[in-house]
Amino acid sequence: MAEAAIHPANTRRLVGLIPAAGHATRLGALPHSKEIHPIGTYFDANGSCLRPKVVSHYLLEKMRYAGIDRAYFILRDGKWDIAAHFKDGATVDMFLAYLLATVPYGTPYTLDAAYPFVRDSLVALGFPDILFSPDDAYTQLIEHQIKSGADVVLGLFPTDQPQLTDVVAVDDRGRILQILTKPRHTILSHTWGIAVWTPTFTEFIHDYLAGLPVPTKDTRELFVGDVVQAGINCGISVEGVFVSDTPFLDIGTPENLARAIREAAIE
């Protein structure tokens, strides 16, 4: 495997962080974890068809394009088919490892399971059930973080369904002023879909969650955007990069999953 590209100004290792502990309730009963649902076909370097390409493969390709050569999937018990599929990561030219989430409610808690392993790294967050372009999206974020020194850099995408996602208010200097989670009414038109952050924010997540009561199924779910907003309120520097003019596609609904399969068949 090629060594991960590390900019001279940034000696921290780049590590991918991939939360995959959800239950995919919107998709109904699937015979496997949604993160390894086939979307398109995987080809080798000679153009020969090898096998169906699963949805999270696309995310790993984009991480690898940015020079990220290792990543952690964070799973819940019962989703070992993801590890069985990717194994050590050789098929995506990466080193992959798998961690177990022990708090079942809230993606920030899932991410915090990786705290001992990534606390000194530059983290690249990716969600394994969304499809997005361009290929150099993470490269843009990493370069911006090195140049700006921001604690968190969000990859921004347009959205036509702001009520279903986080929307962001960003100023003309690229600073994120506010994140609203699934607002009923808003004039904001962009969301975030990927992120890069420094150990400063990894520590903030860990300390912030430690100060909250352990969530239960009856409490409001805590989202990553909630924690980023809490960081902004506490002085964490958060900036955004408009990485794409095209919305990302979340395959977590039957309609979007069917659309992803259809579009992959056309390409």
Residue-wise pLDDT tens digits, 89-117: 998 999 999 999 988 789 999 999 999 99
On the question of pLDDT at 6 being above 50, the answer is no
pLDDT in the model for residue 161 = 84
Q: For 14-266, CATH number?
A: 3.90.550.10
Average pLDDT over the chain, rounded to an integer? 88
Q: Which of 244, 250, 140, 115 is nearest to 195 (CA)?
A: 140
Residue-wise pLDDT tens digits, 72-83: 999 998 899 999
Residue-wise pLDDT tens digits, 114-137: 999 999 999 999 999 999 999 999
Question: pLDDT above 90 covers what percent of the chain?
Answer: 65
Map out the domains of the chain as residue ranges: 14-266
pLDDT in the model for residue 9 = 39
Average pLDDT over residues 66-74: 97
Question: pLDDT above 70 covers what percent of the chain?
Answer: 88
pLDDT in the model for residue 27 = 63
pLDDT in the model for residue 267 = 57
Q: Which of 129, 100, 131, 142 is nearest to 117 (CA)?
A: 100
Average pLDDT over residues 27-48: 74
Which CA distances in Å does 244 have to 73, 90, 141, 158, 205?
Answer: 25, 29, 12, 8, 27
Model confidence, pTM: 0.89
Q: Which range is least confidently modeled, 22-26, 157-161, 166-170, 182-186?
A: 22-26
